[in-house]
Each structure stands twice: as C-alpha cells, then as structure tokens.
Amino acid sequence: MLEALRGRGLRLGILSNTFWSRAHHEQVLARDGILDLFDGLTFSSELPWTKPHPQAFLASMQAVEVTDPARVVFVGDRPFDDIHGAAQAGMRTVLVPHSDIPEVQRGHTEAEADAVIHRLGELLAVVDCWL
C-alpha cells in the first residue's frame, strides 16, 4: 500500500504521539523494510506539542514539504487526537477504528472522519477518489 501511494506521486509521512526517540522509531521502520518509503517523520518526543494540537500537524506537513493542508490526507485510529486534530488543521481525514481507546484517553470531541476504513489496504480506493 505504501509503495502504491508513492507510485501515485504522493509524499508520505508519520506523525506520532510518542515518548520514544526518533532513532527507536527509525530502527523499527528499517527492520520492517519501510523506512525509505516515508518522506518525513514527526515525533511528539521532539516537539513542544502533541496531537491534536494544530502545530503538531503543521510540523508534520513541514517534514514532508507540503504547505497546503487541504492537500493532506491524515490517517489515524483515534477520533480525537487524529481525526479532530487533523480536521482542525484543515486536512482530510481517514479513520481506521481498530483501537480500543480507554475512556481516560478520549478527548472532548470525537470528530467525524471524511472516510472510514477497516484495513489499510482500503486506503488506496479512498485516496484515488480524492486525486
């Protein structure tokens, strides 16, 4: 799926709320053979903000060298942190609802995503409709 998205000329990035280091994440992505498929990596461990703060999303856009949030599709599994945050930053959103989010981690807003998929392989069809 990542290769197919790249083949469409799209820039790919990761924005993760994490306390682990960049080196740790890069090691995992390299181990899985996908590090080179990403144009930019943004980790909250290196930022003064976390998702859903709009600046975290803007930092992620800078990492992939994109300036127009309306041209960004953000894929995430958390309705508040990911979907609400990305929508507030002006991005299109895709929810993959595969995580059980504890009540204490739910935000005050559970935004409605522009699309919902249940497997990442379904993302291509969604993106193709928006290209």
What the block records as the tokens of 44 is 């909250």
Pairing of strands 40-43, 115-116: unpaired
Whole-structure pTM value: 0.91
CATH superfamily of the domain spanning 2-130: HAD superfamily/HAD-like (3.40.50.1000)
Handedness of CA 101, 104, 110, 114 (dihedral sign): negative
As a whole number, mean pLDDT of residues 102-116 equals: 76
What pLDDT does 103 receive? 63
Is a pLDDT exceeding 80 seen at residue 106?
no
Residue 82's identity, in one-letter code, is D
User: Residue 85: which of 66, 103, 111 has the closest Cα?
Assistant: 111
Integer Cα distance of 3 and 34 in angstroms: 9
As a whole number, mean pLDDT of residues 77-92 equals: 95
Integer Cα distance of 10 and 12 in angstroms: 6
Give tens-digit pLDDT for 19-68.
999 999 999 999 999 999 999 999 999 999 999 999 999 999 999 999 99
Give tens-digit pLDDT for 85-96.
999 999 999 999
Handedness of CA 22, 25, 31, 33 (dihedral sign): negative
Are the C-beta atoms of residues 14 and 42 closer than 8 Å to each other? Answer: yes
What the block records as the tokens of 68 is 């127009």
